[in-house]
A and B are shown apart, each in its own frame.
Chain A
Amino acid sequence: EVQLVQSGAEVKKPGESLKISCKGSGYSFTTYWIAWVRQMPGKGLEWMGIIDPGDSNTRYSPSFQGQVTMSADKSINTAYLQWSSLKASDTAMYYCARSYGGFWGQGTLVTVSS
């Protein structure tokens, strides 16, 4: 069974750093790209970018380029999304999803508040 399990909810202050994770199981993790998707409160889905877990090649949406960093550790079947300096406007639910077939993680709620 294909599963993507994400790390738990985070509460951070503006300016802090953060790294959330997405662990895949039930398939060959390096075969399919992993996408990250943002959903701000009460809003729709936004594609942030995608990473190839096999070689860590990334493609970012222009809206998120330079704002976040995607990475992966294929030895532990895990993809990551990180921020170096959070802003209040980063408050959202973040989902990872396998690029083919559309298998989704359960989401990680990130709250940034002073």
Chain B
Amino acid sequence: QAVVTQEPSLTVSPGGTVTLTCGSTTGAVISGLYPYWFQQKPGQAPRTLIYDTSNKHSWTPARFSGSLLGGKAALTLSGAQPEDEAEYYCALYYSSAWVFGGGTKLTVL
């Protein structure tokens, strides 16, 4: 079974740009794995920011974008805000099963 990898923690300055990545131990992440990105703040349910690599929901702030980068899925935050401090999870879709990454704790400092 694939293991999905994420950076355990990242720090970004307010107004800065940061890229979170999502890799797979089975090889390159491709669009056919339909990468998802979720944001979770303490005490809240996860919220989907990005689905199918780069599609946004109506509630996804414009400063978030999804892409494929160097064999991984990537979530780029441009112009970080204090309210973006959260845990971010990615998930890849293998044979009708989501496999979640371990999450990235993003600090805005």
Tell me the bound Cα distance from A103 to B48 in angstroms.
7
Q: What would be 18 A-B contacts, judged by CB atoms less than 8 Å apart?
A: A37-B98, A44-B89, A44-B102, A44-B103, A45-B38, A45-B40, A45-B103, A47-B97, A49-B97, A59-B96, A59-B97, A61-B97, A95-B45, A95-B46, A99-B96, A101-B57, A104-B47, A107-B45
Q: How large is the interface on B (under 10, 10 to 19, 20 to 34, 35 or more residues)?
A: 20 to 34
The answer to whether A101 touches B45, judged by C-beta atoms less than 8 angstroms apart, is: no
Residue A33 is within 8 A (CB to CB) of chain B in the complex? yes
Report A-chain residues with C-beta under 8 Å of the C-beta of B98. Answer: 35, 37, 47
The answer to whether A45 touches B46, judged by C-beta atoms less than 8 angstroms apart, is: yes
Least Cβ distance of B81 to chain A in Å?
A: 22
Report B-chain residues with C-beta under 8 Å of the C-beta of A50. Answer: 96-97
Q: How large is the interface on A (under 10, 10 to 19, 20 to 34, 35 or more residues)?
A: 20 to 34
Report A-chain residues with C-beta under 8 Å of the C-beta of B51. Answer: 100-102
A residues in contact (CB < 8 Å) with B? 33, 35, 37, 44-47, 49-50, 59, 61-62, 95, 97, 99-107
Residue B36 is within 8 A (CB to CB) of chain A in the complex? yes
Least Cβ distance of B64 to chain A in Å?
A: 14
Central interface residue in B98, B100, B102, by most chain A CB within 10 Å:
B98
Residue B99 is within 8 A (CB to CB) of chain A in the complex? yes
Report B-chain residues with C-beta under 8 Å of the C-beta of A49. Answer: 97
Least Cβ distance of A112 to chain B in Å?
A: 20
Q: Which 8 A-B pairs have the closest CB atoms?
A: A102-B48, A47-B98, A45-B100, A44-B103, A107-B45, A104-B45, A102-B51, A106-B45
